[in-house]
Structure 1
């Protein structure tokens, strides 16, 4: 974009309703933004159903170029925004069917989804779709909670149980699941032990701080390798002073700068999908949480753009050798 602006350039407050004014369709799309506005499985605060549009609105202040990775993430991937999945607010299983169907169609067509939650229960539906296309996948989970609790008031499907259900359904490769940033008080020591018993790797905030993010990401990269990998990001990974608009706050987290630095290290993975969950606009009066979420979506798309470039370089190199 050149300055001074030409008359055909829209101000940031003039929006089409999509993320960064992306089109809803175009040929050869590699990335699709889609909203998953389901929050009926939340255990405390609700309101994440309003997050997809809040994140899209916050994205209007972002610019198209990523100066760290040297990519135009949404042009390089021909990204689209297909709107929101038509969830059923009072029925989690029918909502799962709707989300799974939408994600499955994208993945079958070689399009990497970036889902905008919604509470964290929506990730289970996406993992069901991913497993149908890729088989059991690796998982990188940024979160302050493990979300491997079995039941809540005798209900097995809620935002605290997607990753125990995913284990039971065989959607994940347990030895390639990393739950990063876990912190806060617990009901009992078994809360983290439960994840270990599933074979998951739990890296608490304290351990992440002590070891350093580069060392931890190196371990994650070595263990996951080229396995198809899904990244799920619960905004409560971030300290509430930087992301107050969420449902289950935990103090002692990472700053927004530290969070971006961490995500930017996630190169050389085989990502097949992303989601960002638990943003609650009603508790985000200054929109700083929505802006951080929108920026993280920009980061995710940049990782895919790098992934695409790496693939093109690999194909080109192979051709040259032949």
Structure 2
């Protein structure tokens, strides 16, 4: 045995990775006996690729397209557009959601198309058939709600009115980054113009079907258009069908019976937040799919559907909500529906924690919505 020891210690028996360290003099002496610190000359340095945190912040590092360019200006074609709606003067509680679009994009910086493979499905939504782009934010005034909503109406109309990149599916679909929930009204108007009536799956802790005369209208007609009445107004305008549904509801009512009666008139059923304790994630998915079956669908996600422990950065937080994992699992269960538009709203970054809990959650919800849209193209 003693004769074998020298053989085991010989260099020929050792396989090691060769590691070359830069000179200790570092930046002051770029060349040394070990060779140059930089392996490329200044002319060869690559600045065309780099970390996901470089450059302009678009959602998931997607390409930016000026979708709002004037009519007649040639614009790159797309199939799904990300459109920001920086508006929060329709809130009844804490403001700050005008910074939501930027916050959601910030939360998505770690996502990139080439690294977007879903571990659960093995698919990459960014490298599928649809060309997905970020259109930036609609230019909305913060001094006049009526003008701002008209600006958002026009932005949606122009973005969805362009020819899609696909030769088979001709109408681009939009995911809106809010902004307070009033912005969904403009999205529904645009969706109705392109697709007709839709069933709404509304993830929220609040009903948002309050009569404008009850919430805000007592002050002025102008004040009656807000983030708690937009679904009532959408019903009045004939934008949504009577097969819509709320999911995650848990907030108190203003009127014990009147609010529920009005909600039924607006065409909604309710799946409460606590229903998940009784029927589970699969039960919630089944209830939502059954309600909207056979119709085109719009999905609106108020981030306050999540419990404040998972999403503190919102204007009207309500305790007792769902976890991020539960919400993402429910969204995954909606694949196969004909979803023609979607949004994530009420993200107010100023109330988030340093770990950006809400921004990360909102960005992941957007990615789940993208997967639903790509999975089921709609003619």
TM-score of the superposition, structure 2-length normalised?
Answer: 0.76
Other-structure match for 2:37: none
Tell me how far 1:16 sits from its aligned partner: 1.6
Identify, as 1 or 2, the structure richer in helix.
Answer: 1
User: Which residue, out of 89, 92, 116, partners 1:64?
Assistant: 116
Q: Which residue number corresponds to residue 313 of structure 2? A: 245
Q: 1:262 to 1:122 in 2, by over 3 A?
A: same
| Map of 1:188 onto structure 2 | 255
RMSD across aligned positions (CA): 1.9
Map 1:29-68 to 2 at 5 A: 29-62=78-111, 63-68=115-120
Residues 209-236 of structure 1: per-residue CA shift (max 9 Å, x gap): 3122222322332332342211000000
The match for 1:208 is 276
1:1-322 pair list within 5 angstroms: 9-25=49-65, 28-62=77-111, 63-76=115-128, 77-108=130-161, 109=163, 110-151=171-212, 152-154=215-217, 155-174=223-242, 176-190=243-257, 191-286=259-354, 287-308=356-377
Q: CA deviation at 1:97?
A: 1.7
Which gives a bigger RCO, structure 1 or 2 (Cα 8 Å, sep 6+)?
1
Deviation at 1:255, TM superposition (A): 0.9
Q: Give the match's secondary structure for 1:115.
A: strand
Shift of 1:111: 1.1
- What SS does the corresponding residue of 1:146 show, helix, strand or coil? coil
1:315 corresponding residue in structure 2: none
Unpaired segments ≥5 residues, structure 1: 1-5, 313-322
Deviation at 1:27, TM superposition (A): 5.1
Residue aligned with 2:366, SS: helix
Contact persistence 1:41–1:158 (CA under 8 A): yes
Give the drift of 1:104.
2.2
Deviation track 1:37-74 (CA, whole Å, cap 9, x = no partner) reads: 00001111001011111111111112422222332222
Cα offset, 1:307, TM superposition: 1.2
Taking a change above 3 Å as real, the CA distance of residues 71 and 105 of structure 1, as seen in their structure-2 partners, is: farther
The alignment of Structure 1 onto Structure 2 pairs a total of residues equal to 304
State the shift of 1:28 in Å: 4.8
The SS at the match of 2:235 is helix
Instruction: Name the structure 2 match of 1:320.
Output: none
With 192-201 and 242-251 compared, the bigger mean Cα shift is at: 192-201
**Structure 1 residue 90 displacement after superposition:** 2.1
User: Which residue of the partner structure matches residue 24 of structure 2?
Assistant: none
Tell me the distance in 1 between the aligned counterparts of 2:291 and 2:247: 14
- CA gap of 1:15–1:65, structure 2 versus 1, over 3 A, is farther
Distance 1:102 1:178 in 2: 27
Distance in 1 (alpha carbons) for counterparts of 2:87 and 2:121: 33
Tell me, which stretches of 5 or more residues in structure 2 are unaligned? Answer: 1-44, 66-74, 164-170, 218-222
